[in-house]
Amino acid sequence: MIKNTLILIFFLAFTFVITIYYKKSSIKLEGDRVVLNVKDKSVLFDYTLVKLETLNFSNLDIVQKELKIKGRTLLFELARADALYSFNSDTKFIVKSIFEAKKINYLFSINGLSAMELVLEDDSVVNLFVEESEGKELKFLYGFSSNSFREAVEKLGNFKTQLLYQDRLGELKKRVTHWNIKHINIDAVVESIDY
């Protein structure tokens, strides 16, 4: 009995220490700021909301926000899977499908936050941060200039980087995600949970 109690206390203490040490990475909209967090590092951008739209599918709800940051258009998208569904576990596959990207330069993935450069089918380039949350939620933040993106990646990832496609980057004029039945269900971006 005492042995089981000691094991339980040790397990709870271990879990508590891991929880404190492990700080989840995130993309948050707080008030009029976009906050990107990785462990103890943060990057902040003040924004103005330009437009808000929602998309609803049978197994997925999406909120799309168009933001203005330093005169540049950035797009924030929050996708939530319904209770009996989850996102495919391969975030790179999801990004390639939803953005219809033909190339992905994967810069980092730290505690659920990834940074990528995408080359789309029309050869345009998109700088993207993605937050994946336990298969139930995805957040996309994209449209950064090369300089802003590189600075954020270097601060959050704690390393110097060279963007491969910075010379081909233009300003986004519209959303470049393609949320549709084909990608969601047929390509299996969202999958049913088998209990």
Task: For 73-120, write each residue's pLDDT tens digit.
Answer: 999 999 999 999 999 889 999 999 999 999 999 999 999 999 999 999
In the structure, what pLDDT confidence band is assigned to residue 46 with cuts at 50, 70 and 90?
very high
- The residue with greater pLDDT, 141 or 89, is 141
Predicted confidence at residue 8, as pLDDT, reads 56
In the structure, what pLDDT confidence band is assigned to residue 34 with cuts at 50, 70 and 90?
very high
- The residue with greater pLDDT, 189 or 11, is 189
| Closest of 126, 153, 155, 131 to residue 142, by C-alpha | 126
The token pair at 116 is 């990528």
Assess whether pLDDT exceeds 70 at residue 194: yes
Assess whether pLDDT exceeds 60 at residue 17: no
Predicted confidence at residue 4, as pLDDT, reads 65
Predicted confidence at residue 117, as pLDDT, reads 93
Q: What is the DSSP letter of 193?
A: P
- The residue with greater pLDDT, 9 or 147, is 147
The token pair at 104 is 């992905």
- The residue with greater pLDDT, 66 or 146, is 66
If one counts the domains in the chain, the total is: 1
Amino acid code (one letter) for 160: K
- Region 121-128: mean pLDDT is 90
Q: What is the pTM of this model?
A: 0.84
Tell me the residue range of the domain where 182 lies: 2-192
- Region 21-38: mean pLDDT is 83
Query: Which residues, at least 6 apart from 83, have a Cβ–Cβ distance to it below 8 Å?
Result: none
Q: What percent of the chain has pLDDT over 90?
A: 51
Q: What percent of the chain has pLDDT over 70?
A: 85
Assess whether pLDDT exceeds 90 at residue 10: no
Assess whether pLDDT exceeds 70 at residue 58: yes
